[in-house]
Amino acid sequence: MKTFVLNEKEISMTTEWNELSLGQYINFMKLNERREKEEMVQDFYLLSLMEVLCKVDENELDDLSLAEYQENLEAMKFLLDTPTVEDTDVIEIDGVKYCLPQKFDSLSAGEYISIKTLQSRYENNIEGLPYLVAVILRPLKEEQVDAETGEKVYIQEKFDTKNLQWRADLFNDKLQISKIMTAIGFFFNGNKS
């Protein structure tokens, strides 16, 4: 994380894949989609990308000096690297442990219908990603050890849509994309790979 001051405001900029939140990832993907649809000057794209990494509004970095702009561009080079993926079934956010289903091919009817409903509601899965992740990533209810195999077994709280919006907002802001990248593949290609 890189911190700098602009117009008397301290701004933090993501400088590593493992710092990138789900919301930043979504905005990054939307910016890339926009770039494909319309002609965008390279420096305008880079400044827009910098705004995504800083979680600031459009045009909020316009007052950067050219030297600060160049320095921030250097810090953005991590985007050229392959993302680091942490393959984990338990993720802790604000002291609460969340877990993924151990088998994606055994979703409940409620989970499946919610996922299909959300996918039909959003033009593409990127827009609905926080909600889709909120369906499958739920609080850890219990952790057990399989007596036969010795493997850890994670049991999620029962699926319920009442906290879906709250979890989607939390994940959008605080869930590191590197911890959920494998599960996101489920929504784009149908399996956890």
Q: What is the pLDDT of residue 187?
A: 57
Task: List, for residues 47-60, the tens digit of each pLDDT value.
Answer: 999 999 999 999 99
CA distance 121 to 113: 12
Residue 111: name the closest of 102, 96, 101, 99 by CA.
101
CA distance 68 to 170: 31
pLDDT at 191 over 50: no
User: What three-state secondary structure class fits 74?
Assistant: helix
- CA geometry: angle at 96 spanning 92 and 101, to 5°? 70
Task: List, for residues 56-92, the tens digit of each pLDDT value.
Answer: 999 999 999 999 999 999 999 999 998 878 878 899 9
Residue 176 DSSP symbol: B
Residue 102: name the closest of 14, 163, 192, 170 by CA.
192
Q: What is the pLDDT of residue 102?
A: 76
Q: What is the pLDDT of residue 107?
A: 83
Task: List, for residues 158-179, the tens digit of each pLDDT value.
Answer: 999 899 999 999 999 999 998 8
Half-sphere exposure of 165 (CA within 13 A, CB side): 1
Q: What is the pLDDT of residue 88?
A: 81
CA distance 157 to 167: 13
Task: List, for residues 116-173, the tens digit of each pLDDT value.
Answer: 888 888 877 788 899 999 999 999 999 999 899 998 889 999 999 899 999 999 999 9
